[in-house]
């Protein structure tokens, strides 16, 4: 009986948090900055959230592309279809691996940073100081980080896609000794920009919204203590990753009807 009560309370608590987070998202998304200093924060946060994540995205993409090339060559070799390796790698990256892995890397690096930064600002009374000066927290702190995440994630995904193909190309040429001409031809012939690449980038708009909303929500609602900020950062990474994977399943199920 206690087990059922526990599940009931967990469901009620989860529904309550979902409602609060939805209202929080509406409030942040509608807080469009109108001053230059607030608009400048968007550019600044795009640099911190997006540009400083490029190195880990590029490095991860090269390794992912390399591993895909090795595994794809082994699998396709069973069917004497190694000339389709380029198509195998490109479709795997553009449709699924690119958007999802980029989102998870983004959450681990930038999502946790956003939560920690906002939580520390709350802990050190910087937010209260801004409120005392009649500065809108939503416009000056929350919205710039929110919109920067949505802008950065599709751009980072494009970088991930490009360098994954580069990594696969290098391995197929120098390690697997395959015909790189056939590698590129199979991509050009069977991979569609709109149906494959843009479909993956479409997902990142949802992933960016999810990551930014959860990161900001737990940051602004973290308790005023160092362990509280650390716990909020952990919740951001865990919950964002789970929701992104769930969202990917739903979007893929919908897009498969178009593919």
Q: How far is CA 74 from CA 48, 90, 92, 97, 178, in A?
A: 40, 16, 15, 19, 12
81: number of CA atoms within 13 Å, CB side?
Answer: 12
Q: What is the pLDDT of residue 112?
A: 94
Q: Is 180 exposed, middle or buried (0-12, 13-18, 19+ CB in 10 A)?
A: middle
> Could you report the per-residue pLDDT of 105-131, keeping only the tens digit for each?
999 999 999 999 999 999 998 998 988
Question: Taking a C-beta distance cutoff of 8 angstroms, is the pair 28, 216 a contact?
Answer: yes
Q: Which residue has the tokens 């991509």?
A: 187
Contact 85, 76 (CB under 8 A): yes
Radius of gyration from C-alpha coordinates of the chain: 21
Q: What is the pLDDT of residue 259?
A: 59
Spatial distance between the Cα atoms of 234 and 157, rounded to a whole number of angstroms: 24
At residue 155, the pLDDT reads 96
- Regions of the chain short of the pLDDT cut 50: none
What's the CA angle centered on 160, arms 218 and 148, to 5 degrees? 40
């Amino acid at each position: 009986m206690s087990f059922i009560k526990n599940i009931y309370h967990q469901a009620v608590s989860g529904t309550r948090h979902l409602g609060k987070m939805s209202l929080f998202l509406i409030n942040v998304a509608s807080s469009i900055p109108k001053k230059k200093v607030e608009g400048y924060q968007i550019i600044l946060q795009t640099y911190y959230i997006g540009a400083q994540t490029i190195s880990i995205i590029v490095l991860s993409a090269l390794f992912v592309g390399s591993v895909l090339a090795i595994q794809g060559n082994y699998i396709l070799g069973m069917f004497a279809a190694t000339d389709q390796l380029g198509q195998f790698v490109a479709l795997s990256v553009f449709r699924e691996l690119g958007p999802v892995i980029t989102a998870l890397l983004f959450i681990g690096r930038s999502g946790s940073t956003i939560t920690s930064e906002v939580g520390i600002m709350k802990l050190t009374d910087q937010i209260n100081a801004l409120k005392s000066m009649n500065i809108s927290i939503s416009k000056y702190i929350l919205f710039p980080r929110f919109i920067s995440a949505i802008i950065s994630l599709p751009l980072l995904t494009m970088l991930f896609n490009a360098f994954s193909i580069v990594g696969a190309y290098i391995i197929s040429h120098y390690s697997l000794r395959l015909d790189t001409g056939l590698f590129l031809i199979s991509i050009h012939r069977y991979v569609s920009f709109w149906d494959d690449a843009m479909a993956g980038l479409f997902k990142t708009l949802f992933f960016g919204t999810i990551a930014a909303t959860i990161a900001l929500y737990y940051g602004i609602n973290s308790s005023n203590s160092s362990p509280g900020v650390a716990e909020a950062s952990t919740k951001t990474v865990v919950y964002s990753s789970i929701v992104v994977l769930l969202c990917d399943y739903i979007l893929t199920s919908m897009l498969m009807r178009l593919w």
